[in-house]
């Protein structure tokens, strides 16, 4: 079973929409807080779009064209079902593709040279689709390096794990920080402090899974930290940021 897509994922997302309301609201705030990045392109390319479960149609309507890519064969029809009517109402052209855009990233970027690129919760999933942690880290770095010189953004898993948080309990408020400078060890004191704060607020239990995304953003990038109650007893810590050339 695909751990990051397929019918189970879509059923899970549909079933938990009410529990994800606050997380979706935080993501919507992040999307809206970078109008300058969006205004410089009338086309949006989404890599790993899934069905667009956690993004608002109203934000997508701000573009003249939206182009999506996802490996999951259910993603395209469900994306059209969720957002198609709103995009038609705003006159936004929509094209949905099924395929692995990450392995063909250069081709995709060349075909859409002026588009704003959004990686929608894909980078944190690569450790599940790559044989080793080292290879996953290298692939994430390769992808972000290829985006150099482009306007792009990413929302992705940073950590995930078990929690004692009760269903329906208030989530930690979205937090903002600047991406710290890289250090030789690859880890930073600031990240450890942030993880400790989120762990306490989410009542984390045991060791949380590192999704290997701590070096996605360049130093100084404004980063949004968002709690996501993925399922009862299990939470994710998302990071989101925008990069301008």
Kindly give the confidence (pLDDT) of every residue in the chain, 245 residues in length, as a single tens digit, with 9 standing for 90 and above.
Answer: 345 568 899 999 999 999 999 999 999 999 998 755 455 568 999 999 999 999 999 999 999 999 999 999 999 999 999 999 999 999 999 999 999 999 999 999 999 999 999 999 999 999 998 889 999 999 999 999 999 999 999 999 999 999 987 777 788 888 888 898 876 555 556 566 666 777 777 788 888 899 999 999 999 999 999 999 999 999 999 999 999 88
Closest Cα partner for 210 from 152, 136, 145?
136
pLDDT attached to residue 1: 38
- The answer to whether residue 1 sits within a structural domain is no
Digit-coded pLDDT (tens) for 208-217: 899 999 999 9
Question: By three-state DSSP, how is residue 151 classified?
Answer: coil
**What CATH number did the domain enclosing 202 receive?**
3.40.50
**What six digits make up the tokens of 154?**
């990413």
Domain containing residue 77: 6-243
Number of domains in the chain: 1
Digit-coded pLDDT (tens) for 67-111: 999 999 999 999 999 999 999 999 999 999 999 999 999 999 999
Q: Parallel, antiparallel, or unpaired for β 152-163 and 234-243?
A: antiparallel
DSSP 203-217: TEEEEEEE-S-TTSS
Digit-coded pLDDT (tens) for 190-205: 566 666 777 777 788 8
How far apart CA 98 and CA 47 sit, in angstroms, is: 10
Closest Cα partner for 26 from 210, 164, 175, 231?
175
User: Do 171 and 221 form a contact (C-beta atoms < 8 A)?
Assistant: no
How far apart CA 236 and CA 239 sit, in angstroms, is: 10
* Cα separations in angstroms, 114 against 40, 45, 110: 9, 10, 9
Closest Cα partner for 201 from 241, 170, 238?
170
């Amino acid at each position: 079973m695909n751990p990051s897509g397929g019918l189970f994922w879509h059923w899970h997302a549909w079933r938990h929409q009410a529990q994800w309301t606050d997380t979706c609201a935080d993501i919507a705030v992040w999307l809206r807080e970078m109008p300058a990045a969006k205004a410089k392109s009338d086309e949006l390319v989404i890599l790993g779009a899934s069905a667009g479960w956690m993004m608002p149609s109203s934000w997508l309507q701000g573009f003249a064209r939206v182009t999506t890519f996802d490996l999951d064969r259910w993603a395209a029809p469900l994306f059209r079902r969720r957002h198609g009517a709103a995009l038609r109402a705003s006159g936004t052209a929509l094209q949905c593709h099924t395929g692995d855009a990450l392995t063909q990233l250069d081709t995709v970027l060349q075909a859409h040279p002026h588009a704003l690129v959004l990686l929608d919760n894909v980078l944190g999933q690569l450790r599940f689709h790559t044989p080793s942690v080292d290879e996953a880290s290298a692939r994430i770095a390769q992808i972000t390096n290829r985006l150099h010189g482009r306007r792009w953004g990413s929302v992705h898993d940073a950590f995930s794990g078990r929690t004692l948080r009760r269903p329906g309990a208030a989530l930690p408020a979205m937090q903002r920080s600047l991406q710290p400078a890289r250090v030789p060890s690859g880890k930073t004191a600031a990240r450890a402090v942030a993880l400790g704060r989120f762990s306490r607020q989410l009542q984390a239990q045991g060791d949380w899974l590192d999704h290997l995304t701590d070096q996605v953003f360049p130093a100084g990038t404004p980063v949004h930290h968002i709690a996501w109650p993925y399922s009862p007893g299990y939470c994710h810590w998302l990071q989101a940021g925008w990069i301008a050339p």
